[in-house]
Amino acid sequence: MDSAARGDVRNRRLADALHLAVVSVDYRLAPEHPWPAAPDDCEAAALWLVEQARDRFGTARLVIGGTSAGATLALATLLRLRDRGAVDGFVGAVLQFGTYDLSGQTPAGRQIADEYFIQAYAGHVADRTLPDISPIYGDLRGLPPALLVVGSADVLLEDNLAMAGRLSAAGNRVELRVYPEAPHGFTGHPTAMARTALDGIESWLLDHIAQP
């Protein structure tokens, strides 16, 4: 839902505060363009960055991230890139309250299984445990360090906890931050809790971008 332009204010803050180039993907939306249109678009943008970032932006060090569906797509993109052997340039991933199961089998997945947006995006797919749709079922080895951010009142909390555990069990460096009484999408709200979480994300990004 919505459009890439909705993130312009946040992306501008990131660019100004951290001296980064921020590339936002205006991926195609369901129901007009159901899966795999969105991850196809995200993969295309990521591959372009892998090839062009040094010439265009002066660095080959990349980070990826997103909120809610954007976090899902960010993780699916990393899995695609890893399978292509093109993930090495990514030094971090910030995943905010992702939707990691669209099959309706996990605790959080069952709570959102009948939502119209799930049906619009992947209702035509017989097996929604495909990692490209539901990353929690994927082989998660060989991914960059990840920061997972979620609120304790988020309907997707349990799946975010499970994803953090699965990423760690696969040998990846993972940091999980759970914010008290915060609902889904809380970092988009004008609250002190959101500001604390966003400041923490910026510090984490700086640490990982600056590492040799």
For residue 165, pLDDT beyond 70: yes
Residue 117 near residue 176, CB atoms below 8 Å: no
| The predicted structure's pLDDT at residue 3 | 87
Q: Which residues contact 51 (CB under 8 A, 6 or more apart)?
A: none
DSSP string of 27-69, one letter each residue = ---TTTS-TTHHHHHHHHHHHHHHHHHHHHHS---EEEEEETH
Instruction: Please tell me the total count of domains within the chain.
Output: 1
Structure confidence at residue 30 as a pLDDT band (50, 70, 90)? very high
DSSP string of 101-130, one letter each residue = --SS-SHHHHHHTT-HHHHHHHTT-S-TT-
CATH number for the domain harbouring residue 112: 3.40.50.1820
* Token pair belonging to 137: 């079922």
For residue 2, pLDDT beyond 90: no
Q: For the sheet with 90-96, list strands across it.
A: 62-67, 90-96, 146-151, 174-179
Structure confidence at residue 212 as a pLDDT band (50, 70, 90)? low
| The predicted structure's pLDDT at residue 148 | 98
Active site residues: 68, 154, 184
Structural domain that includes position 44: 4-210
